[in-house]
């Protein structure tokens, strides 16, 4: 790989590239730091593309570099399949049928009938285009470039859906579903559709693992038998029928428990951490030569999973956040010198705050983890608040929970999953605002709203409900097709399967240089706070 890297074309050398552009191009904060790109938030493009040369083993002077890139991409996005280990596993015709009749006739006593004429199957070679914009210059807003000239290179990922041939006999399947991490609107919708689709394939043995990965190994917790009857109405309420948890047993213990219970299909609903666990479970099953399909459905209200248009629950969260913002606005607007502070979720990414601010049109200041800010000083948030009080009489701030952590004392505490416990930036802003106005001798009525758990506990809205339905169904199709160590997502409005490591290599973040963030700034009218 290293041998392929040569010198870069001279015309690139002097141009700086912003760090957020690099992140968008797949450079993790660690890679950026190792290239000296951390403190200045700016990099020499020469250095960056040299890094691309090395990391991708590409030489852009080679006329075939893009073919090589494409081949490498195909390899990375190739889906692990049970035939990788069980070479002689033979498929059977799918038992999934889209045209059904009521199974009253004894002809159908064994389950759902199959219609010979039309099944609506996906061809295994179907692909979805991952990137749909052909950027003509690296300077074009949002440009994601592979080479210095931003050459168009097609990047295809595998289309999700039912295949004509399946690798599991439904009567031999014991399927398990587990939901991990924090709550997220839509979990019940996904569970429901996994169960319904499994039954349509003819699976009769379905179990829910209670309280996340913990439920695999805790003696006090027994599995919950699932059927269409059990899940019929669960989408009408928020939360998870199965319960969730953080932390829990190690991978080896989980796989021991799967072996003991005879589980050969595992559906894992969770975020980055859960997916890291799912991938480790998949690898452990391979190591033990177990014929198991492990399929993930990304669950993160924070929307911080790579490569997908969005994750389920995000739309609902943004919609629900409007209520909190509207209340804060009314409180602030009705008070003399009223200031509302609303904290929204987003441990490391500000998608909910940005979208909620944009949707509401009632926010004057939006603060997210990706964009540093100071509270004090001539360009600080407090000075701007004073300006807003002077000119408008009231103001509303929307802050993502992971924003401004550098301004709060660190505790170094972590939760059971190892996630850092954040300081409460909302409380901090409220206190600092009160102190600031008191010192100025200007009255200010500061109200703080933290709707976090009210938002997370909501049932999914209509658009998330549909997304959950499609994701749940596709997870089952993926497992029956024999894939394992994969996850499913929406990509340019189509549905695709991804190898798990590709979507969790780092959390997806708002690009401060993106048009969406600039739209948000246009809406709030806020200045830079640094």
Ligand X SMILES: O=P(O)(O)OC[C@H]1O[C@](O)(COP(=O)(O)O)[C@@H](O)[C@@H]1O
Which two tokens mark 266?
């595992």
Residue 355 sits at φ, ψ, to 5 deg, of -70, -40
Please tell me the distance from the alpha carbon of residue 344 to that of residue 47, in angstroms, as a whole number: 37
Name the 3-class secondary structure at 515: helix
Name residues contacting ligand X, limited to 167-206 (CB under 6 A). Answer: 181-182
Residue at token pair 């009938």: 113
Which residue's CB is nearer to ligand ADP, number 271 or number 472? 271
**Residues 457, 458, 459, 462: what is their CA dihedral angle, to the nearest 10 degrees?**
-140
Please tell me the distance from the alpha carbon of residue 461 to that of residue 467, in angstroms, as a whole number: 10
For residues 412 to 441, the per-residue mask of contacts with ligand X, x marking binding by CB under 6 A and - elsewhere, is ---x--------------------------
Q: Which residues on adjacent β-strands are paired with residue 225?
A: 207
DSSP state for residue 98 in the 8-state scheme: S
Stretch that binds ligand X, among 75-83, 97-105, 228-236, 299-307 (CB under 6 A): 299-307
Residue at token pair 């999953």: 417
347 lies in the binding site for ligand ADP (CB under 6 A): no
CA distances (Å), origin 495, targets 42, 95, 173, 465, 490: 35, 21, 25, 15, 5
Question: What is the closest distance, in whole angstroms, from the C-beta atom of residue 247 to ligand ADP in the complex?
Answer: 5
218 lies in the binding site for ligand ADP (CB under 6 A): no
Q: Which of 148, 161, 170, 181 lies at the binding interface for ligand ADP (CB under 6 A)?
A: 181
Per the annotation, the verdict on 302 as an active-site residue is: yes
350 lies in the binding site for ligand ADP (CB under 6 A): no
441 touches 170 (CB < 8 A): no
> What is the chain's percent helix, strand, coil content, to nearest 5?
40, 15, 45
DSSP state for residue 344 in the 8-state scheme: E
Q: Which of 282, 347, 459, 477 lies at the binding interface for ligand X (CB under 6 A)?
A: 347
Q: Which of 29, 202, 247, 380 lies at the binding interface for ligand ADP (CB under 6 A)?
A: 247
Stretch that binds ligand ADP, among 29-37, 245-253, 315-323, 425-433 (CB under 6 A): 245-253
507 lies in the binding site for ligand ADP (CB under 6 A): no
Residue 108 sits at φ, ψ, to 5 deg, of -110, 20
Residue of closest CB approach to Mg ion = 271
CB 438: neighbour CB atoms within 10 A? 11
CB 447: neighbour CB atoms within 10 A? 16
CA distances (Å), origin 345, targets 54, 152, 270: 37, 36, 16
CA distances (Å), origin 389, targets 174, 325, 446: 62, 18, 12
Name residues contacting ligand ADP, limited to 409-438 (CB under 6 A). Answer: 417, 419
Stretch that binds ligand ADP, among 145-153, 176-184, 489-497, 522-530 (CB under 6 A): 176-184
Catalytic residue among 20, 147, 189, 302: 302
5 lies in the binding site for ligand ADP (CB under 6 A): no
426 touches 448 (CB < 8 A): yes
Which residue's CB is nearer to ligand ADP, number 82 or number 281? 281
274 lies in the binding site for ligand ADP (CB under 6 A): yes
487 lies in the binding site for ligand ADP (CB under 6 A): no
369 lies in the binding site for ligand X (CB under 6 A): no
Which two tokens mark 99?
């045209």
316 lies in the binding site for Mg ion (CB under 5 A): no
51 binds, among Mg ion, ligand X, ligand ADP, none (CB under 5 to 8 A by kind): none
Which residue's CB is nearer to ligand ADP, number 254 or number 381? 254
Question: What is the closest distance, in whole angstroms, from the C-beta atom of residue 302 to Mg ion in the complex?
Answer: 8
276 lies in the binding site for ligand ADP (CB under 6 A): yes
Which residue's CB is nearer to ligand ADP, number 348 or number 524? 348
Q: Which helix (H) or strand (E) holds 355?
A: helix 351-360
| Residue 62: partners with Cβ closer than 8 Å, 6 or more residues away | 4, 68
Residue at token pair 């040369």: 53
Which residue's CB is nearer to ligand X, number 223 or number 271? 271
Residues in the interface with ligand ADP (CB under 6 A) total: 19
300 lies in the binding site for ligand X (CB under 6 A): yes
Question: What is the closest distance, in whole angstroms, from the C-beta atom of residue 304 to ligand X in the complex?
Answer: 7
Stretch that binds ligand X, among 165-173, 186-194, 234-242, 339-347 (CB under 6 A): 339-347
276 binds, among Mg ion, ligand ADP, ligand X, none (CB under 5 to 8 A by kind): ligand ADP
Question: What is the closest distance, in whole angstroms, from the C-beta atom of residue 311 to ligand X in the complex?
Answer: 9
Name residues contacting Mg ion, limited to 248-277 (CB under 5 A). Answer: 271-273
270 lies in the binding site for ligand ADP (CB under 6 A): yes
Name the 3-class secondary structure at 138: coil
| Residue 250: partners with Cβ closer than 8 Å, 6 or more residues away | none
Query: Which residue in 261, 512, 490, 273 sits closest to 369, CA to CA?
Result: 512
Which two tokens mark 359?
């949707």
* Binding stretches for Mg ion (CB under 5 A): 271-273
Give the residues lining the site for ligand ADP (CB under 6 A).
Answer: 180-182, 212-213, 246-248, 270-274, 276-277, 280, 300, 417, 419
Catalytic residues: 302
């Amino acid at each position: 790989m290293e041998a392929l890297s040569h010198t870069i074309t001279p015309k690139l050398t002097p141009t700086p590239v912003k760090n957020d552009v690099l992140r968008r191009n797949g450079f993790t904060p660690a890679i950026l730091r190792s290239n000296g790109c951390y403190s200045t938030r700016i990099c020499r493009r020469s250095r960056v593309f040299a890094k691309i040369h090395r990391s991708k083993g590409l030489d852009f002077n080679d006329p075939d570099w893009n073919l090589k890139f494409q081949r490498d991409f195909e390899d990375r996005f190739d889906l692990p399949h049970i035939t990788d280990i069980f070479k002689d596993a033979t498929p059977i015709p799918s038992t999934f049928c889209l045209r059904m009749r009521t199974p009253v006739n004894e002809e159908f006593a064994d389950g759902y009938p199959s219609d010979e004429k039309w099944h609506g199957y996906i061809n295994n070679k179907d692909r979805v285009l991952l990137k749909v914009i052909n950027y003509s210059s690296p300077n074009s807003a949002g440009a994601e470039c592979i080479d210095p000239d931003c050459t168009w290179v097609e990047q295809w990922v595998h289309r999700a859906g039912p295949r004509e041939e399946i690798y599991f006999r439904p009567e031999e399947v014991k399927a398990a579903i587990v939901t991990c991490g924090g709550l997220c609107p839509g979990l019940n919708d996904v569970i429901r559709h996994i169960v319904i689709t499994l039954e349509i394939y003819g699976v009769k043995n379905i179990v829910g693992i209670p309280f996340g990965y913990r439920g695999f190994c805790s003696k006090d917790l027994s599995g919950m038998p699932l059927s269409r009857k059990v899940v019929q109405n669960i989408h009408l309420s928020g939360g998870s029928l199965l319960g969730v948890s953080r932390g829990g047993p190690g991978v080896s213990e989980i796989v021991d428990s799967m072996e003991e219970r005879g589980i050969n299909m595992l559906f894992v609903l969770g975020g980055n951490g859960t997916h890291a666990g799912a991938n480790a479970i998949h690898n452990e099953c391979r190591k033990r030569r177990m014929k198991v399909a492990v399929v993930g459905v990304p669950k993160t209200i924070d929307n911080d999973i790579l490569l997908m248009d969005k994750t389920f629950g995000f739309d609902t969260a943004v919609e629900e956040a409007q209520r909190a913002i509207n209340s804060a606005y009314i409180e602030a607007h009705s008070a003399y010198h009223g200031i509302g502070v609303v904290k929204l979720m987003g441990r490391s990414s500000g998608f909910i705050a940005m979208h909620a601010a944009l949707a509401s049109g009632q926010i004057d200041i939006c603060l997210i983890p990706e964009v540093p800010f100071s509270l004090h000083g001539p360009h600080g948030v407090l000075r701007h608040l004073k300006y807003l009080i002077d000119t408008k009489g009231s103001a509303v701030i929307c802050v993502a929970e992971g924003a401004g952590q550098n301004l709060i004392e660190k505790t170094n505490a972590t939760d059971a999953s190892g996630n850092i416990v954040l300081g409460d930036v909302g409380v901090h802003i409220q206190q600092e605002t009160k102190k600031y106005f008191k010192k100025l001798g200007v009255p200010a009525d500061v109200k703080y709203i933290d709707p976090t758990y009210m938002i997370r506990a909501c049932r999914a809205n209509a658009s998330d409900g549909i997304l959950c339905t499609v994701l749940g169904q596709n997870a089952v199709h993926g497992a029956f097709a024999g894939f394992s160590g994969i996850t499913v997502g929406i990509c340019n409005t189509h549905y695709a399967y991804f190898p798990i490591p590709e979507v969790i290599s780092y959390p997806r973040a708002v690009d401060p240089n993106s048009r969406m963030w600039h739209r948000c700034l246009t809406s709030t009218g806020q200045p830079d706070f640094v």
